Amino acid sequence: MRNFIIFGPPGAGKGTQAQRIADALDLKHLSTGALLREEVSRQTNIGQRVQDLMAKGELVDDNIVDEIIKNKVENSGQVAGFIFDGYPRTISQANYLDVLLAAKALPLILNLEVSAEELSKRLILRGQTTGRADDNQETIKNRLIIYQQQTQPLLDFYASQKRLISVDGQGEIEEVYRRLSDQIK
């Protein structure tokens, strides 16, 4: 079993690259953002609790996200592995995921490095093309600040465990995918 976490700030291309890697390696792609947006659209109990947080670009409580991920991992049947997109976002979540996957295989972390200017451009464009409510200037600024404060420390956490691979996330989609593929062969 092979497991990966695709990492990077909002707008780095995690979802796009995670899906490509999942398709190429026959992995189950688990996007926390997509899972949470699904909960909101279905107006589940969880969806109602997290809707306002997500609209502001804030992180959802660790316990809620951990439970969603645990359910998906445990109910996925036989899979070649997982690629996590948007999870973990805190040290607590990272520790939880390691315990959850300890009997399978600890994930390798693929970090996409993209400049703040490029991230803003990508997110504004995505908001215009997809209509995602959280892709507006105010929310983008808040999401990037939260990423720097709460999620970026995970880079050191995983680097100290020698599980972090960083690649240049700027350029064409295929070019970034080749860089990632070269690292995970």
Instruction: Tell me the average pLDDT of the chain.
Output: 92
Q: What is the pLDDT of residue 53?
A: 86
Question: Which span out of 45-54, 118-127, 174-183 was modeled with the highest average pLDDT?
Answer: 174-183
Query: What pTM does this model have?
Result: 0.89
63-72, 132-141, 148-157 — which is least confidently predicted?
132-141
CA distance 72 to 100: 11
CA distance 82 to 80: 7
- Is residue 134 scored above 80 in pLDDT? no
For residue range 45-98, what is the model confidence (pLDDT) as tens digits? 999 989 988 888 788 899 999 999 999 999 999 999 999 999 999 999 999 999
DSSP string covering the chain, please? -EEEEEE-STTSSHHHHHHHHHHHHTPEEEEHHHHHHHHHHTT-HHHHHHHHHHHTTPPPPHHHHHHHHHHHHHTS-S-SEEEEES---SHHHHHHHHHHHTTT-PPEEEEEE--HHHHHHHHHHHHHHH--TT-SHHHHHHHHHHIIIIITHHHHHHHHTT-EEEEE--S-HHHHHHHHHHHH-
Q: What is the pLDDT of residue 143?
A: 85
Q: What is the pLDDT of residue 178?
A: 98
State how many domains the chain has: 1
Question: Do strands 108-113 and 81-85 pair parallel, antiparallel, or not at all (unpaired)?
Answer: unpaired
Segments forming the whole domain that contains residue 138: 2-184
CA distance 181 to 84: 16
Mean pLDDT, residues 147-152: 88
Q: What is the CATH number of the domain that holds 146?
A: 3.40.50.300
User: Of all residues in the chain, what percent carry a pLDDT higher than 70?
Assistant: 100
